[in-house]
Amino acid sequence: MHQRISEEKAEQLIKTIFSFALLMDVYQVDDYMACATSAMREAKNGPELVKKIFKTCNIKINIVEGQEEANIIYASHIEQVLDQDKNYLYIDVGGGSTELSVFSATNLVASKSFDIGTIRILDKKVKPENWIHAKEWLKKITANHPNLTAIGTGGNINKIYRLANLKEGESLSTKKFNQVSKQLQALTLEQRIVELGLKPDRADVIVPACEIYANLFKWGNVKETIVPSVGLVDGIIQLLIEKNLGN
């Protein structure tokens, strides 16, 4: 990572956003929300690229900070499906960062973003202190909110969940997670694509994702994980609904 988005990637992004702008025009979209997360907020030319996209496509992109990203995810109202008698650790693993939120009695009690992501690990850009900060934060949280049940969102944990061959709605035990993680790590990138049917971009990042989850499960003494299909996009949709249609 050179902390810059290359000219090639920037042009690809502009073309992609322009395509969405055309679709929004065709479908007469009244409102939208476009967010850029860790990759853009760390790129030195991120703000410059955002301005260029607005000038070219007339689409405003918000570069959201880690805490704001966690708040948007929380806006999906996941607390409504939680057991009031349990403590939960909400985990959203991305390419550049991992967002953690702790719920107790369905209330959000703590939330923090850490610069630990799958792409960062692949690029060897996760500093030892990043892991230490996450561990210390989680250990401090579990002192007052023990017996955490994890809630995992994102493409990696969803794929791990499917590889575990569980029944719909069944929670993923940490023991089963470790079995799947061990299976994934034992295969080469090509084997993960051919034998497990993973897409190349997923086959690449799923192993570092396992490393992130494994550490969090250990530090939080997590025994099981619920895997609902919600994430940043669900929070964005909910915010747009509340803004335009009310609660």
Comparing 231 with 182, the larger pLDDT belongs to: 182
Cα 1 to Cα 171: distance, rounded to the nearest angstrom: 36
Give me the residue label for tokens 């290359």. Answer: 6
**Which CATH number does the domain housing residue 50 bear?**
3.30.420.40
**pLDDT tens-place string over residues 109-152:** 898 989 999 999 999 999 999 999 999 999 999 999 999 999 98
99 pLDDT band, cuts 50/70/90, is confident
Q: Answer yes or no: do 53 and 149 share one domain.
A: no
Tell me the two tokens of residue 37: 């997360």
Per the structure, the count of domains in the chain is 2
Q: Measured at the alpha carbon of residue 230, what is the angle toward residues 229 and 233, in degrees to the nearest 5?
A: 130
214: in domain: yes
Cα 153 to Cα 94: distance, rounded to the nearest angstrom: 10
Q: Answer yes or no: do 36 and 110 share one domain.
A: no
74: in domain: no
Domain of 120 in residue numbering reads as 81-231
Q: Answer yes or no: do 124 and 46 share one domain.
A: no
**Which CATH number does the domain housing residue 211 bear?**
3.30.420.150
Q: Answer yes or no: do 11 and 44 share one domain.
A: yes
CB 233 within 8 A of CB 72: no
73: in domain: no
Comparing 94 with 183, the larger pLDDT belongs to: 183
Res. 84: pLDDT tops 90: no
Q: Taking each helix axis as running N to C, give the angle between helix 174-186 and helix 200-219, from 0 to 180 degrees, rounded to the nearest 10.
A: 140
Q: Answer yes or no: do 211 and 185 share one domain.
A: yes
Residue 71 confidence (pLDDT): 75
66 pLDDT band, cuts 50/70/90, is low
Q: What amino acid occupies position 14?
A: I
Tell me the two tokens of residue 95: 């390419």
C-alpha radius of gyration, the chain, whole number: 19
Q: Answer yes or no: do 55 and 154 share one domain.
A: no
Q: Are strands 224-226 and 172-173 parallel, antiparallel or unpaired?
A: antiparallel
Res. 90: pLDDT tops 60: yes
Q: Answer yes or no: do 54 and 98 share one domain.
A: no
Q: Answer yes or no: do 90 and 174 share one domain.
A: yes
CB 63 within 8 A of CB 46: yes
Residue 232 confidence (pLDDT): 77
Whole-Å CA distances, 130 to 117, 126, 127, 144: 10, 7, 5, 22
Least confident range of 39-48, 127-136, 200-209, 225-234: 225-234
Q: Taking each helix axis as running N to C, give the angle between helix 174-186 and helix 155-163, from 0 to 180 degrees, rounded to the nearest 10.
A: 100
72: in domain: no
Q: Answer yes or no: do 203 and 128 share one domain.
A: yes
State the CB neighbour count (10 A cutoff) for residue 175: 9
Q: Which of 16, 100, 102, 90 is nearest to 59 (CA)?
A: 16
Q: Answer yes or no: do 166 and 216 share one domain.
A: yes
Cα 196 to Cα 190: distance, rounded to the nearest angstrom: 10
Q: Answer yes or no: do 36 and 93 share one domain.
A: no
76: in domain: no
45 pLDDT band, cuts 50/70/90, is very high
